[in-house]
Amino acid sequence: MSESYDLAAAVAVLDSARSVTVLCHVQPDADTLGSGLALAQVLNRRGVPVRVAFAEPAAVPVSMRSLPGREFIVAAKDVPREVDVLVAVDCGSAGRLGSLRDRLDGARVSLVLDHHSSNTRFGAVNVIDETAESTAGLVARVLDAWGEPIDRDIAHCLYAGLVTDTGSFKWARPGSHALAERLLATGIDGPAITRTLMDTHPFAWLPMLARVLSSAQLDREAAGGAGLVYVFVRRADTADVRSEEVESVIDLIRTSAEAQVAAVFKETRSTSESWTVSLRSHDGANGVPGVDVSKVAMALGGGGHRYAAGYSTTGTPESLVAALRAELG
Ligand SMILES: [Mn+2]
């Protein structure tokens, strides 16, 4: 609930910090990393030692390597067992920290900044606004409450989270455009940031899409007739491409007019028949409310937002579809 978050509590924690460890979620996206690097730059400016980390993969995704502040990123193994202030950004649950979740136990105080409706409030202080379009937008409000100005490099990081979590402003909410205007006014190159993060793929993306999309299935009866469209992305399909290309598939199949729910079953690159699953939904015509995929994902061990969620699972393709179908009703 939006009224349950307390920006002053977040400021008090950050203000008390002798040092800060910012943790982003596994398989980081531009919202978690942009939020983390924006905070890191502010803390560094204040003279507070800061590091940013995520459990996996080992390297920063290629599309995010131009984000300012990446010099604060350290390898997961270099995050000490005991830290002063730990801040988790854009993580709906402790599990999203992957192998770094145990660092919560060694923190003097932990602060969770997030916008997922499924957030489990796993910090000592939790500042959760599920009405925020992005964690970056929530970080901007924390900085305002703290009286910390947003300079051009910090704006670059926040814009990265804002533009990606709104799907290039397709899912903008009240305040999203006002924040974009403010960030752009610092002199950042918004089109270049967007192109780098969302609109640049290696050529190998095209044959990968051709293989994957040719297997798309439509189940009109799923979710009480709302319809389900889904595809499988097998390990063999992704050998030549980055995670960015794999993550792009959901945005294509979710456009199917005949289905309000879309799913992409992505086989883990290292392990056969181990999967992460992306879910999307939208409202139907005539205002019929869409399926809450956050609830579906939570029932299957994951979480997320009402219209965008995910989970991890194992099994054969047939068993995966059956489990999802059963949960959708
Ligand atoms: Mn986010």
**Cα torsion for 92, 78, 51, 57, to the nearest 10°?**
-50
Q: How many whole angstroms from 167 Cα to the centroid of ligand 1?
A: 11
At 3 the pLDDT is 47
Q: How many whole angstroms from 303 Cα to the centroid of ligand 1?
A: 12
Q: How many whole angstroms from 90 Cα to the centroid of ligand 1?
A: 5
Cβ proximity of 328 and 295 under 8 Å: no
In this prediction, the residues of the chain whose per-residue pLDDT falls under 70 are 1-4
Measured at the alpha carbon of residue 9, what is the angle toward residues 5 and 12, in degrees to the nearest 5? Answer: 160
pTM attached to this predicted model: 0.90
At 4 the pLDDT is 62
At 5 the pLDDT is 81
Residue partners of 21: CB distance under 8 A and separation at least 6: 50, 51, 52, 53, 79, 80, 83, 84, 85, 86, 87, 103, 107
Q: How many whole angstroms from 32 Cα to the centroid of ligand 1?
A: 6
Q: How many whole angstroms from 33 Cα to the centroid of ligand 1?
A: 10
Q: How many whole angstroms from 134 Cα to the centroid of ligand 1?
A: 5
Beta strands in 167-255 (DSSP E): 217-219, 228-233
Q: How many whole angstroms from 318 Cα to the centroid of ligand 1?
A: 30
Instruction: Tell me how far apart the alpha carbons of residues 283 and 230 are, in angstroms, rounded to a whole number.
Output: 18
